[in-house]
């Protein structure tokens, strides 16, 4: 099992598991004395909790532990482009982070042959105050190149990104397109044996995306290996030779890309998953369609458990066949799993003008502080073009809310308190 790799394997993953500890249950008190005693003992408990973040005693209660990956094994041959698919929270990002050596597995083993470059985010380490040239060196050396290697490729990198004139300008003065082009360009010129990439192609304009995809293809055609995560089924089908489908941390299917994607698409039908591309139970004229909806921390990771009282972003990825969409308005209704409506956020209510949008893109609704109590919720998304419903789709994504941190008292409101949490105070009068 643990012998040397055969010459035809670029990546071998064996029995890989990764366990995370999630929020600890909160004890409740029934008396003032008990509450005071708990407050006094809080530092000790905090210390234990922080210390235990990475510690797992055998036979420990499984309640606070999730397996982001469970016994995953597969092999990738040199020259293969492996697509990694699965719903939000299926373990795709965790697998990439283990392969990229960012986080350590709990069990199992990975062998990677040759030079590995990982691209989990475009422009990691870019600093706004540094010039384009300086950022290329910083980012390039961060991704594992030497200064000399970066220097030798600098002209190519800058030319590929089409920013020749601005190479000595601080990147904070760049347009977001220039920024992304430069960042991708550095990664594209790494020349690794194994390239590990998270959905980084979802950035930049359509023309640059085509260029990036071409670059990825040429990496693979050069006999090197690419592993990448994407929610874009069409891209996975066109770019990848093989695919892996993860579900709840386990390997659900592995094989030729068309077989895996067909199985995955079939399983997504009518489910509550974030990717709704293959859903047919829609209303509207279809001028624009919801591709995916998800819930995430501001600008950050996709959340399946959302802390209440904290800022949150509802993201709707859409795809419109024609590029002139006219005036688009979007709304997301949050409902309980019993279809009780809790709240609706809409660009009409907020007065945000969504005119002149590109044909495909991502709409983000920022919520300052989510006032929901514990429970499971789902989103229903509606897109309108010029006041006419273009797409209406229920149960696009689900999320769980954890309300234990909503009140400063850390007192847990309990689900009997009702679905909404209000900031409030009490005083005596008269």
Partner 1 sequence: MSAWSSDVAHTSVTTIVARGERSLRSYGEEVWRYRDLLFFLVLRDIRVRYSQTVLGFGWSILQPLLQMVVFSVFFGALAGISSGDVPYPAFSLAAVVPWTYFLNAVSTSSLSLISNAQLVSKVYFPRILIPLAPIGAGLVDLAIAIGLLFVVVLAFGIVPPFPAVLLLPMLVVLLVLAASGISIWLAALGAQYRDVRFVTPFFLQTLLFVTPVIYVVSEVPERLRPFYSLNPLVGVVSGFRAAVLGQGSVPWGAMFASFLVSLVLATFGLAYFRRVERGFADIA
Question: Interface with partner 1 by CB under 8 A: which residues?
Answer: 4-5, 7, 10, 20, 47, 50-51, 53-54, 78, 97-116, 118, 120-121, 124-125, 127, 129-130, 134, 137-138, 141-147, 191, 193, 222-224
Instruction: Provide the minimum distance between the beta carbon of 77 and partner 1 in the complex, in angstroms, as a whole number.
Output: 11
* Residue (120 or 265) nearer to partner 1, CB: 120
* Residue (24 or 271) nearer to partner 1, CB: 24
Q: Could you tell me the CA-to-CA distances from 211 to 58, 160, 161, 166, 235 in Å, in that order?
A: 50, 9, 10, 20, 13
Instruction: Provide the minimum distance between the beta carbon of 119 and partner 1 in the complex, in angstroms, as a whole number.
Output: 9
Q: Could you tell me the CA-to-CA distances from 113 to 193, 212, 283 in Å, in that order?
A: 7, 24, 49
Residue 107 phi, psi dihedral angles, 5° rounding: -145, 160
* Residue (65 or 349) nearer to partner 1, CB: 65
* Residue (142 or 337) nearer to partner 1, CB: 142
Spell out the residues 6+ positions from residue 57 whose beta carbon is closer than 8 angstroms to its own.
none
* Residue (93 or 331) nearer to partner 1, CB: 93
Instruction: Provide the minimum distance between the beta carbon of 414 and partner 1 in the complex, in angstroms, as a whole number.
Output: 29
Sign of CA dihedral 357, 358, 360, 362: negative
DSSP 8-state class, residue 278: T
Measured distance CA(249)–CA(71) in Å, rounded: 8
CB 377 within 8 A of CB 295: no
Q: Give 354-374 as a DSSP string.
A: EES--SEEEEEEEESS--BPS
Instruction: Provide the minimum distance between the beta carbon of 90 and partner 1 in the complex, in angstroms, as a whole number.
Output: 18
Instruction: Provide the minimum distance between the beta carbon of 301 and partner 1 in the complex, in angstroms, as a whole number.
Output: 9
* Residue (49 or 350) nearer to partner 1, CB: 49
Measured distance CA(22)–CA(13) in Å, rounded: 25
> What number of residues does the chain have?
430
Instruction: Provide the minimum distance between the beta carbon of 83 and partner 1 in the complex, in angstroms, as a whole number.
Output: 21
* Residue (69 or 367) nearer to partner 1, CB: 69
| Run of H or E residues at 85 | strand 81-85
Measured distance CA(402)–CA(399) in Å, rounded: 10
* Residue (224 or 242) nearer to partner 1, CB: 224
């Amino acid at each position: 099992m643990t012998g040397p790799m055969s010459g035809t394997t670029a990546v071998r993953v064996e029995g890989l598991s990764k366990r995370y500890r999630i929020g600890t249950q909160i004890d409740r008190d029934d008396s003032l004395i008990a509450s005071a005693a708990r407050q006094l003992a809080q530092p000790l408990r905090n210390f234990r909790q922080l210390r235990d973040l990475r510690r797992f005693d055998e036979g420990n209660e499984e309640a606070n532990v999730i397996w982001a990956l469970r016994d995953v094994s597969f092999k990738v041959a040199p020259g293969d482009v492996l697509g990694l698919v699965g719903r939000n929270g299926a373990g795709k990002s965790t697998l990439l982070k283990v392969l990229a050596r960012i986080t350590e597995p709990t069990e199992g083993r990975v062998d990677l042959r040759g030079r590995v470059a990982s691209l989990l985010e475009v422009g990691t380490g870019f600093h706004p105050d540094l010039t384009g040239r300086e950022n290329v060196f910083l980012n390039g050396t961060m991704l594992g190149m030497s200064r000399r290697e970066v220097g030798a490729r600098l002209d190519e990198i800058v030319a590929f990104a089409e920013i020749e004139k601005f190479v000595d300008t601080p990147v904070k003065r760049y347009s977001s397109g220039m920024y992304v082009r430069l960042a991708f360009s550095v990664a594209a010129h790494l020349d690794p044996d194994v390239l590990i990439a998270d959905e980084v192609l979802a950035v930049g304009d359509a023309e640059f995306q085509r260029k990036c995809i071409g670059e990825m293809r040429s990496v693979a055609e050069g006999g090197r290996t690419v592993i990448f995560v994407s929610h874009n089924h069409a891209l996975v089908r066109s770019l990848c030779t093989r695919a892996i489908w993860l579900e709840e941390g386990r390997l659900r299917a592995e094989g030729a890309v068309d077989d895996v994607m067909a199985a995955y698409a079939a399983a997504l039908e009518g489910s509550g998953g974030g990717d709704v591309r293959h859903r047919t139970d829609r209303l509207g004229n279809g001028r624009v369609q919801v591709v995916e909806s998800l819930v995430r921390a501001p600008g950050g990771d996709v959340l399946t458990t959302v802390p209440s009282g904290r800022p949150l972003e509802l993201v709707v990825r859409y795809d419109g066949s024609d590029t002139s969409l006219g005036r688009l308005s979007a709304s997301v209704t949050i409902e309980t799993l019993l279809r009780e409506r809790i709240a609706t956020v809409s660009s009409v209510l907020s007065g945000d003008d969504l005119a002149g949008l590109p044909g495909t893109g991502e709409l983000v609704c920022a919520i300052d502080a989510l006032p929901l109590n514990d429970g499971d919720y789902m989103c229903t998304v509606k897109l309108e073009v010029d006041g006419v419903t273009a797409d209406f789709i229920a149960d696009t994504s689900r999320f769980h809310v954890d309300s234990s941190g909503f009140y400063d008292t850390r007192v847990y409101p309990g689900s009997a308190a009702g679905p909404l949490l209000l900031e409030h105070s009490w005083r005596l009068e008269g």
